[in-house]
Each structure stands twice: as structure tokens, then as C-alpha cells.
Amino acid sequence: MIINSQEIEYRNFYRDFIQSKKPILIKSAFKPNTLNKIVTDKKDKIKPLYSRGAAPFLYTYFDDSTIRNYVFNLPIIKCLLDNPNTQFREKMRLWHHNKGNISYFHYDQRSTDLLNICLSGSKQWLLLPPDAPLKCWPFYNIALPFQRKKKKQAISLIMEQGDLIYIPRNWFHQLMTLEHNTKNINLIFNDLTDNQMATRERELTSIKRLFIPNYIYGDNIAMLNNTIDSVPILKTLARLFRELLPIFIFIFITIIFLSIQAVTLGTIAINTIILKQIS
């Protein structure tokens, strides 16, 4: 799970980790100072994701050729980029957090694998595999609170300046920032040899297809789009029902609660009027 950059053969990175979908933290994968300086110089041009828990809610990608050239030419990334089996998204995301920030448990949508490099500071990653999925908010990729027993089983990795982490598609991750001024850049890509999609992700996309017939999933990877086509309509409808059920229950409980409040207030008002009339 943790390896030193000297111990890794970049040529075999795809075969050993990406194809076998094994997360890995590579210590001292790059020299962070030059990149950190480029990013700092450009801080007015690229928009980092600052806020607490920003990860799940904001998807602000930035596009900057100087940063892209630098990042995509780091030997380990270049090796993957040159591999015909990977399809990288050119835009990246920059996270800029202070100590204590938490990006809560979520998985990255669109079945993308992700690489994340740390420019400054440090973060703790908690990882849970897709075969032990957390329950998420309806129609969303963010885990519901609680589920403590499962969350306790997460693997913990500490990422420091100069480290790179690889997280395979559909793995749940939560990040806690350990130092002020922690910056990390996230790159995503699809492994074109891999047509596995998490069941819920596939069914959620199939629901989208019901409403938007030409909906294209993710970065238009044919293999994944074909997989979605094969979801039976009954499974799609069952998923729709399962996602809507908690919303209906919530609305139902709210209506009952408000009705009880209204009846109680009404009774109090009537009693007050009667008491006034008696006296």
C-alpha cells in the first residue's frame, strides 16, 4: 500500500496497480518545489477548492497549459499517459485546505481512477473498497453520516509533500487535512480495458437515461456506455424506488410532525378562547 518511488518500476505501474485496481501511496514521487511555485504564481488564475468539505459538492476543474505540461511530464504520469489503455481528462482540480478540513467519505463519479499529488502540507486518506459500499445520500456519491462500524474498517494512509496516491475507481475516500496551506492536485482517467461499474452507479446512470435519452456517461467511454444500456428496466425502476423511498419517508414524517404541531397549536388556541369566554 505504501511504496518508495525508488522501489517502483514506472513501466509496470499500469499492470501492477491500475489493472489490478490496487490503491497505492508512492512516497517522494516528485520534487514538489517547482510545481508549488508555478501554482502559487498562478493563484489568481486557477480556482482552488477551499471550503470545508468542498470535495463532494464542487467540481471546479482548471485548465492551465504550464501546470498540465509539468504534471503530465512527471515520469510516473507520463508513463501512464503514453499507455494506450488510459484516457486522461486534461483538466485538473486543485485543493487548497487548512488543518482540520474534512472532505467526507465519497467516491468519484464517472468510474474514473484518480491520481492525487501533494504539493505542500499533508493529508490523511481513509479508504474503503467498492465491495463494501457505504450507503449514500439519494442519487448522490456522498456517504450518509454514521455507518461507523464500516467506516472504522477504512485503511488509513498519510500523504505528505511530494507524494502521489492512486485510488482505483469506486473506492470510497475521506480526507482530513493535517497542516495549514495543504495543496494537492487531482487528475482523473479511465482505464479503457475495464468495464466494471459499481452496480449503484450503473443503475443511477440508467435512471438518467430514462429522462435524457441520449445521455452520455462520463467521458464517453464506449465500453461503459454499453454496460449501462444493458441494465434491465426493472432494475432501473427498482433503483429509482430505492433512492426515492427515504425522500418519501422524510416528507411523510415531516407532514405528520407539522400536522401534530398544527393540531396542538389549534387545541391550545381553542382552549384559550373558551377560557376567556368562561371568565
Ligand X SMILES: O=C(O)CCC(=O)C(=O)O
Residues that bind ligand X (CB under 6 A): 55, 95, 97, 103, 108, 114, 116, 173, 175, 184, 186
From the CB of 11, what's the least distance to ligand X, in Å? 25
Residue 190 binds which entry of ligand X, Fe ion, none, with Cβ cut-offs from 5 to 8 Å by kind? none
User: Closer to ligand X at the Cβ: 14 or 107?
Assistant: 107
User: Closer to Fe ion at the Cβ: 108 or 113?
Assistant: 108
The site for Fe ion, by CB under 5 A, has a size of 1
Pair 29, 3: CB distance under 8 Å: no
How many other C-beta atoms are found inside a 10 Å radius of the C-beta of residue 30?
22
User: How is residue 157 written as a grid cell?
Assistant: 494512509
From the CB of 125, what's the least distance to ligand X, in Å? 9
Residue 205 binds which entry of ligand X, Fe ion, none, with Cβ cut-offs from 5 to 8 Å by kind? none
DSSP 101-157: -EEEEE--STT-EEEEEEEESEEEEEEE-TTSPPPBSTTSSBB-S--HHHHHT-EEE
Pair 120, 40: CB distance under 8 Å: no
User: Closer to ligand X at the Cβ: 103 or 236?
Assistant: 103
Q: Which H helix or E strand runs over 6?
A: none
Residue 109 binds which entry of Fe ion, ligand X, none, with Cβ cut-offs from 5 to 8 Å by kind? none
From the CB of 24, what's the least distance to ligand X, in Å? 15
How many other C-beta atoms are found inside a 10 Å radius of the C-beta of residue 112?
23
From the CB of 12, what's the least distance to ligand X, in Å? 24
User: How is residue 22 written as a grid cell?
Assistant: 490496487
User: Closer to Fe ion at the Cβ: 35 or 115?
Assistant: 115
Find the radius of gyration of the CA atoms of the chain.
Answer: 24
Q: How far is CA 62 from CA 43, 52, 93, 141, 165, in A?
A: 11, 19, 6, 22, 20
User: Closer to ligand X at the Cβ: 10 or 61?
Assistant: 61
Q: Which H helix or E strand runs over 25?
A: strand 24-27
From the CB of 102, what's the least distance to ligand X, in Å? 8
User: Can residue 191 be called a binding residue for Fe ion (CB under 5 A)?
Assistant: no
Among 25, 105, 108, 165, contact with Fe ion (rule: CB under 5 A): 108
User: Closer to ligand X at the Cβ: 97 or 200?
Assistant: 97
From the CB of 173, what's the least distance to Fe ion, in Å? 6
Instruction: Catalog residues that contact Fe ion under the rule CB under 5 A.
Output: 108
